[in-house]
Structures are given as C-alpha cells and as structure tokens.
C-alpha cells in the first residue's frame, strides 16, 4: 500500500545539493582576491592566475554534479 508518492527528477535535486559547496568555494576564492587586492593593490597581477586556477578547479566539482545528473 503506497501511503505517499513523490515524482520528479532526483538528479535535479542532486545537482542542487552539489552546487552548494562550489558556490561557497568560489565565493571564498574571489573574496580572498578582492581583500588581498584591497590591502596591497600591486599584488593583484601576481595573484590573478591563482584566482582562475582556483575558480576552475572548484567549478569542476559543480560541473561534475550537473554532468553526472545526466549519466546516472
């Protein structure tokens, strides 16, 4: 006997949960860059490559979330 039934896409819910972590992570990366540049503007050119590397590595996890939503 079915008491309650829920229909819909679990992969969408899974992706939503998977996007929390990278969202916070990317926010941390850019907030660190903004604060560092605010303290010492000359360092902005030195730290910019690390901003992009950090962003892409963290974003990879969010994208794994959306890609695996289609695979599984």
Partner 1 sequence: MISQSVVLAGGAAEFPPSVEDFKLPALVEGTYPWLTKYTLLVWVAVAAIIIFFLVTYRNPQLVPTKRQWMAESIYGFARDGIAKDMIGHEGIRFAPYLATLFCFILLTNFMGIIPGIQTSPNSHIAFPAVLAVISYVLFIYVGIRKHGFGKFMKNSLIPPAPWFVLPLLILIEFFSNFIVRPVTLALRLFANMFAGHMILLVFTLGGFALLNADSLFVKPVSLLSWAMAIALTFLEAIVALLQAYVFVVLTASYVQGALADEH
CA–CA separation, 22 vs 9, rounded Å? 21
Letters for 12-51 (x = contact with partner 1 by CB under 8 A, - = none) are -------------------------------------x--
> Alpha-carbon distance 62 to 15, whole Å?
8
- The verdict on 52 binding partner 1 (CB under 8 A) reads yes
Q: Which residue has the tokens 């890609």?
A: 67
List the structure tokens of 48. 């910019």
For partner 1, give the closer residue by CB, 36 or 63.
63
Interface residues with partner 1 (CB under 8 A)?
49, 52-53, 55-57, 59-60, 63-64, 66-67, 70
């Amino acid at each position: 006997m079915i008491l309650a039934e829920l229909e819909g896409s679990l992969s969408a819910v899974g992706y939503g949960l998977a996007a929390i972590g990278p969202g916070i992570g990317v926010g941390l990366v850019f907030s660190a860059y903004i604060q560092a540049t605010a303290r010492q503007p000359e360092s902005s050119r030195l730290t910019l490559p690390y901003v992009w590397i950090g962003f892409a590595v963290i974003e990879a996890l969010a994208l794994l979330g959306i890609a695996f939503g289609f695979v599984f």
